[in-house]
C-alpha cells in the first residue's frame, strides 16, 4: 500500500514536468563583466634559489620558478 502511494506521488510529479522537444538546446549567456577574484593562497617561504611568479587573469595562478 505504501509503495503504491509512492508510485502515485511520483506519477503526479511527472505529470507536472514540461516536455521539451527532442534536440532542444538551451544556451545561457555568460556575463563578460564578471571579475575574476584573486584566489587567497597561503604562500610558503621558498628556498633561496626559488621564487613565485603569478600567471593568468588577475595574476591568480602562483607558479614556482628558479630565481636566476
**What does residue 40 show for φ and ψ, rounded to 5 degrees?**
-85, 105
Domain ranges of the chain: 41-68
Burial of 53 (0-12, 13-18, 19+ CB in 10 A): exposed
Burial of 17 (0-12, 13-18, 19+ CB in 10 A): exposed
Q: Which pLDDT band holds residue 60 (cuts at 50, 70, 90)?
A: confident
pLDDT score, position 33: 65
Query: What average pLDDT does the segment 23-43 reach?
Result: 73
Query: What average pLDDT does the segment 27-46 reach?
Result: 75
> Is the per-residue pLDDT at 1 higher than 80?
yes
Amino acid at each position: 500500500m505504501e509503495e503504491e502511494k509512492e508510485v502515485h506521488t511520483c506519477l503526479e510529479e511527472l505529470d507536472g514536468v514540461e516536455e521539451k522537444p527532442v534536440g532542444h538546446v538551451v544556451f545561457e549567456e555568460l556575463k563578460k563583466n564578471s571579475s575574476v577574484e584573486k584566489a587567497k593562497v597561503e604562500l610558503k617561504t621558498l628556498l633561496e634559489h626559488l621564487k613565485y611568479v603569478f600567471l593568468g587573469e588577475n595574476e591568480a595562478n602562483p607558479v614556482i620558478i628558479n630565481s636566476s
